[in-house]
Amino acid sequence: MAPVSTPPEALIGQVLGAAYRILRRIDEGGMGTVFEAEHVRLKRSVAVKVMAAHLAEDESALARFQREAEIISQLHHPHVVQVLDFDTTEQGQPYLVMELLKGSSLDAVLTKHRRLGIGPALRIAIQAASALSAAHAAGIVHRDLKPANIFLVDAGEQLFVKLLDFGISKRAEETRGARKLTGEFDILGTPDYMAPEQAIGK
């Protein structure tokens, strides 16, 4: 079924997959919208990321969205956001169900405070590096590491990092015969935070 263009607000109150009741919009980005939802049977709060309807018609974008679910579900690491489910709305829009995080992105914190102390900066760097190390050990390159994708969980006095958004990640060694989602000279990511080899399309 071809996806129907549905305003994000129209999903509020709906139950997706007979399990997840959409409560409110949390954030919106280029790939889609993130909502807070509740599992109707378990009464557990979750985050639901619904892909934008116009992107669901783009085969490459759809494949990246599906791959994000597959990749994160394989990374069992305390500093990588957990994916709990993957399905499609009745309107034909794919969605991810993830753990609901309370806190702020590093980007929001830096916007407010401009700079961090050495101690917090080191703890954030070490935890983010730990998540990246686990991803690299699994043969996965994030390709969009930036403050907006480093989430600082509200954990009282403890600083705890979660790495988000593997939507444009790439397996370091593509399986032979697997479909490539990025052309030789395609550039994906945020220019200000790209590694040099990524910026020149390698």
Q: Which of 144, 154, 186, 192 is catalytic?
A: 144
Q: How far apart are CA 114 and CA 68, in angstroms?
A: 31
87 belongs to the catalytic site: no
Longest Cα–Cα distance of the chain, Å, equals: 52
Judge contact between 124 and 170, C-beta under 8 A: no
Q: Which residue has the tokens 């399905």?
A: 87
CA neighbours within 13 Å on the CB side: how many for 62?
14
Q: How many CA atoms lie within 13 A of 123 on its CB side?
A: 14
Catalytic residue numbers read 144
